Chains A and B, each alone.
Chain A
Amino acid sequence: MKHTLSVLVENNPGVLSRISGLFSRRGFNIDSLAVGVTEDKNVSRMTIVVDGDNYTIEQLTKQLNKLIDVIKVTDISKDSVIRELALIKVNASLSTRNEILQIVYIFRAKVIDISKSTMTIEITGNSQKITALEELLQPFGIKEMVRTGAIGLERGQKVIKYTINDEEE
């Protein structure tokens, strides 16, 4: 089963390689990993999507917690908003442009670049939504596509805090 982990880490050089090294060394598979700064410049937040059973996720969480640079690991698979971003460059001639625009409209995506023979579309959403758009655009011919990893936050007032003493939730 897929799990989404939110990992707060100290923004030290090498932290990404410590985490990716842990995954490869212990044989955990990363589906996607996205990392960026948070409201605190000393802290980065990684969103890691992994596929694994309960044993794997428990081990992974415990092993991540042992890394000195890791501040907190939270499984946000349940009750959270998860988004990915994709940019898709698709063949678009005069005759197909309108049809593509309609699809873009339905998906509430955006056209961010256009040329005589192509359109570049920006879409955000969960993984399934992006895959669905990709499938619909496939017949026109996708020339290039780039996709970010998933990022997510828990719904409602819940906030992941940093200090060890703080209780979860």
Chain B
Amino acid sequence: MKLTGAQVLIQCLKEQGVDTIFGFPGGAVLPIYDALLDSDLTHILTSHEQGATHGADGYARATGRVGVVFATSGPGATNTVTGIATAYMDSVPMVVFTGQVSLDLLGKDSFQEVDITGITMPITKHNFIVKDAQALPDIIRKAFDIARSGRPGPVLVDIPKDIQTAVIDYRPRVIDTSNGNKGAHGEFGKQAERLENGLKAAVEVIRASERPVVFTGGGVIIANAHRELTEFAQKLKAPVVTSLMGLGAFPADHPQYLGLVGMHGSRYANYTVSNCDLIVAVGVRFSDRVIGDVSKFAPSAKIIHIDIDPAELGKNIETHIPLNGDVKVILSRLVDMIEEKRLDDWNKRVEEWKRQYPLKYTDDGSLKPQFILSKLYQMARDNYIITTEVGQHQIWAAQYFNYSQPRTFISSGGLGTMGYGLGAAIGAQVGCPHKRVINIAGDGSFRMNANELATVARYKLPIIEIIMNNSALGMVRQWQHLFFNKRFSNTTLGGDVDFVKLAQAYNIKGMRLDDKAKVEEVLKEALDYDGPVLIECIIDRDEKVFPIVPPGAPIADIIDE
């Protein structure tokens, strides 16, 4: 059938099973937005294109489906850059469609022209500029396939305006949108043999190990391998530590669970890793935030590293047994191959560390963020998704709220994007209407993209926005305190904004919490309220995130007060 490029785009989105788009219209995407009116796709209009990309990202992380963004050319396109980079660092499947000036105007510094494929080359898994209208459907199909296959990531498709209006011949196609393990070339000849040999070697090393640790990351969640991971860890009887991205991959209430490892890992988690003789690392990339000083990281440990991206194996740390492939497949193979272990001595040592060095904060009767989050966890439990901004509140949310299900903790781990959380909360709430999304924010991060409260209000999304207001850029201030001799340069904010009034201006229920005794009451009111709520929690400026390992130091060198 004959359709315009814009109509073809809509049809191709439907082929992919897309039902929701995050975006912002503009001159170079007018034909697309026109075609959108005749479709049944849901379009979430954000305040800013950055919010749209974070929205699509949060939607993708919460649902496991590909997030989709529309933005116009020029500034619309450049506004998506931070959101794309955030998704790229955390391997989030996303396809961003940007409008572009017509082909005849391309390269002439035309109005709202920018080379967005050039700009996003290092922060996308791949990108395209469409110069032949007939190629449009296949480019869109390829974009989705690339975004979701193998190690997922963002893909950008730049569509000039005249391609959107060109009439082409469109033939519908049925697409298999399951994640599968496409892109993992593990099945073929030599590579398959290498994997088999690796598995055998891994089983042998696991059998011989007396002090193993399982280290889990975001890859387990992406691969939907949390069940296999839990089975594996239970058969191994080893303690389980996690990266920030891995929260929710292994149930936090499980006795083998030790939580975060690395810069903000507990003493017991970091001691366990530092003293182990084997790390089975699953879907992680050994980020500098985890390993600290690489030469002193788990000095007596062998490392088995399982990942779908071969480039991660041996990149940040020397790996003894690299296993390249879908972590779900490899874990279930390992579960079948390994013998059940008994590690009583080792687990006794770990238990002892756990007892001796629990995660703690000083409870002096004042309102503490850790207390609020613990209370929130007790009251909210399941059926909630936590999103965060970036900073102290993010780490508290990782430490004091327990995550027992994958896709319930959504945070910018790799890029550390302040201003990510509210957009991500919008996306997660749109993608999971039956769950309640709670965004944990700091006052600094909240100010970055507070404009998205308008989106929350517009779509009446029942998001709970909790702002830990310490009137400071807390994490940077903490680093200034610890590592820059308490010279607080530009990190003190003061009470310049009344957040409750701001919420009210958006017709959002605003509450202020400044008393420990009222925590339960206020949280209950928010949780019971059927609509968007903002809670401003007044906390102390000098409250710190502990434990902390100084950047680049061995992870056993812990500061905890």
Contact = CB atoms under 8 A, between A and B. Distances in A.
Interface of A: 13-14, 17-18, 21-22, 25, 55, 58-59, 62-63, 65-69, 164-165, 167-168
A26 B369 CA distance: 39
A17 B118 CA distance: 8
B314 interface: yes
Given A17-B121, A25-B122, A65 B310 contact: yes
A157 B310 CA distance: 29
Contact of B185 (A25, A58, A63, A164): A164
B311 A63 contact: yes
A14 B315 contact: no
A21 B122 contact: yes
A63 B309 CA distance: 10
B146 interface: yes
Interface string B100-126: 000000000000000001100110011
Contacts of B310: 62, 65
A168 B309 CA distance: 20
15 contacts: A13-B129, A14-B118, A17-B118, A18-B121, A21-B121, A62-B310, A62-B315, A67-B126, A68-B125, A68-B146, A69-B126, A165-B188, A165-B189, A167-B188, A167-B190
A13 to B, nearest CB: 8
Q: Give the bracket for the number of chain B residues in contact with chain A.
A: 10 to 19
A21 B118 CA distance: 10
Q: Top 8 closest A-B pairs, CB basis?
A: A62-B311, A68-B126, A167-B189, A25-B122, A62-B310, A63-B311, A21-B121, A165-B188
Nearest to B185: A164
Contacts of A22: 122
Contacts of B311: 59, 62-63, 65-66
A14 B117 contact: yes
Contacts of B125: 68
A14 B131 CA distance: 13
Contacts of A65: 310-311
A25 B189 CA distance: 33
Given A62-B311, A66-B311, A164 B121 contact: no
B190 A66 contact: no
Given A59-B311, A59-B314, A69-B126, 19 more contacts: A13-B129, A14-B117, A14-B121, A17-B118, A17-B121, A21-B121, A21-B122, A25-B122, A55-B314, A58-B314, A62-B311, A62-B315, A65-B310, A65-B311, A67-B126, A68-B126, A68-B146, A165-B189, A168-B190
